[in-house]
Structures are given as structure tokens and as C-alpha cells.
Structure 1
Amino acid sequence: MRVLVVMGSKSDSGIAEKVIAVLDEFGVDYDVEVASAHRNPEKVERLAKKDYDVFIAIAGLSAALPGAIASHTTKPVIGVPVSAKLGGLDALLSIAQMPPGVPVAAVGIDNGKNAALLAIEILALKNDALRKKLLKYRERMRA
């Protein structure tokens, strides 16, 4: 089980830290990269073709990164819109309004924690130990 966390810019590291904290809590292996869909398209393509189970793409402004990754893989891609401009609404709409055939899951603006939890839910479909950890986590959240 491996997750790739990709930031469109180093300025997104605060959100990436929220993702990483949750993945660490659940013991999920991950890598972190910085790659812009516009400045490093070849790197984005290479990363998307690597052997990860889930991709989390953190992007603001035009938020093309999640869609660029999704265009090169059939694995789940979770987009995290960043509140860089327009309160993040521009990024949210860019992620949520993908064309037919290239789906990207979108979480709330700046909500790296939910992106990590969604990735864990996906991984838990085939991992009982992780599913049990997720159930315990949910029980703690309700208390």
C-alpha cells in the first residue's frame, strides 16, 4: 500500500503536512513530491505511471495537477484544492469539473486530512488491518 502525495508548489507544504500526519497515524507508506502540471509536465507523467495505489494531488489556482495525474493513470486520484485565490473556489471547481472518463475525487478546500482519510478508505477495501484501524479512528471521532 503506497500513496503518492504531490504538491503543485512548495507553498502547498502546509496542506501536505496534514496529509502526512494522517498517513503516519495509520502506518501507510507514502512518498512526497513537488511537480507542477504546467512547469513539470514530464515529471507529472512519470510520477503518475509509478506503482502507487492512490495519488493525492494538492493544487491551487487552475488546479490542473489532479487532472494531469488522472490522465496518465487508472488509479484513484484525490484532489485537494488550495485557497490560493478566490478563496479556493477556482481550484475546487477545476478539480470537481473533470471531463467524462477522467474522474478525480475532490475534498474540501485546504482539507488535506480528508484526502488522507479517503485514501485510507480506498486502501482499506483490500486491507483488513487498515480497515480495523479506520473503524477505531471513527469511533474515537464520535466520542
Structure 2
Amino acid sequence: MKRSRKTKDTRTSPRLPASPSHRPPVSASPRRRVSASFHSTAPIVAVIMGSKSDWETMRHADQTLTDFGVPHECKVLSAHRTPRLAADYASNAERAGIEIIIAAAGGAAHLAGVLAAHTTLPVLGVPMRSDALNGMDSLLATVQMPAGIPVGTLAIGKPGAINSALLAVAILANSRPELREKLIQFRARQEQQVREATLE
């Protein structure tokens, strides 16, 4: 299947994450976002989710990475329904230029752990809210990894989606001064918004 590639201009000053306009659900084929500020347009962050239904939450990670101009791709892979595809993707991710994997799943949320088992790249897990236990099952399934195969686990739902992207940016910024400057500016604007907040 031919992969589509979308090019988007880099914003010099990323804004605070906001709810983006509605987009169609992500498909099994990668949705790619690229930036002119990086030497290559190849994605360096992968946003993987276990189901199309997770896109409503994970689009916030997509938007945050886009705001910072980080080339990335979004893709659906299931630890249970497509285990071989998930393992193959993780095994080949580093060779393909991926530096960080964000993995989101709900319920029996084993996706992040399965991906982490097949790569030495940093894997950031985002537990999705579930109907049964409001996401606590997803959180425990993501965070309770055996020693030796780490998964950096974020908060449940939208806050975790946004923070997974921000943590990926922070990791990448260690070797990219221009990205570090964007992150510093983002934090400064965030602080200013709190300082200017008024209660009516």
C-alpha cells in the first residue's frame, strides 16, 4: 500500500495545546506530519494506538507534535488483533528513523509493553479511558511492566496524550537546541497565562 505524506509548515512558536478541529479517524495506514525545520522530513516520533476509537484522544498528541514542528506518524496497531504487525513495526522502527514511540491503548492495554519488548527505543504509554473502570484498568495494564522492559506511563486520557507529546519533545530537545528553545517559550507562555488569570 502506498503511504501518503502530508507536509505542514512549522510554527515558530508552538501554542498551548488546544482542542483541534474535528478530523477523520486515523486509519491503519500511517498518517504522517512533517516539518521543514528538521533536516529530514521522515517521521522521528510514532504515535501508535490500539484502535481507531483512540484517535479522538490521541489527536491531541498529534496536534501537540505538529505545533512543535516534530515530524511524526500516527498509526493503528493492536497488540491482540495484529500482534505480528505490532512486533514487526517496533523491531524496524529504529532502522526507519523513529526515535520515540508513543503507544495508546485501553482496557487490556498491552500495546506499549508489546512494542517496548521489541525495541530499545523509548516507549511512552498513554492509558485510554474505558467504560468498565474509567481507565484504571488501562493504567495498571500499561504501568505494571516487569523489570527490564520499561514503559514511561503518562496520565489517563487527554492529559496523557498531550503530555506524551510534550515528553517526547523534551527528550528530542536534549540534542536539538532549536526545539529546546521552543519548549522554553511554551513553558513561559504557560506561566504567563496563569499569572494573567482572573477570577470573576
TM-score normalised by L of structure 1: 0.97
| 1:67 equivalent in alignment to 2:113 | yes
- Match in the other structure for 1:132: 181
- Match in the other structure for 1:95: 142
**SS of match in other structure, 1:91:** helix
Bigger shift: residues 29-38 or 41-50: 41-50
**SS of match in other structure, 1:87:** coil
Q: CA offset at residue 47 of structure 1?
A: 1.3
Counterpart of 1:18, as a letter, is: H
CA RMSD of aligned residues (A): 0.9
| 1:115 equivalent in alignment to 2:157 | no
| Per-residue Cα deviation, 1:96-115 (whole angstroms, up to 9, x for no partner) | 11000000011100020011
CA distance in 1, matches of 2:125, 2:57: 12
Q: CA offset at residue 44 of structure 1?
A: 0.5
Unmatched segments (≥5 aa) in structure 2: 1-42, 193-200
The total of aligned residue pairs comes to 143
- Match in the other structure for 2:37: none
Identity score, percent: 43
Q: CA offset at residue 46 of structure 1?
A: 1.6
Counterpart of 1:132, as a letter, is: E
CA distance in 1, matches of 2:129, 2:58: 14
CA distance in 2, matches of 1:46, 1:133: 33
Counterpart of 1:30, as a letter, is: H
**SS of match in other structure, 1:138:** helix
Counterpart of 1:61, as a letter, is: G
| Structure number having the greater helix percentage | 1
- Match in the other structure for 1:35: 77
| 1:4 equivalent in alignment to 2:46 | yes
TM-score normalised by L of structure 2: 0.70
Match of 2:89 among 35, 47, 54: 47
- Larger Cα Rg: Structure 1 or Structure 2? 2
Counterpart of 1:135, as a letter, is: I
- Match in the other structure for 1:82: 128
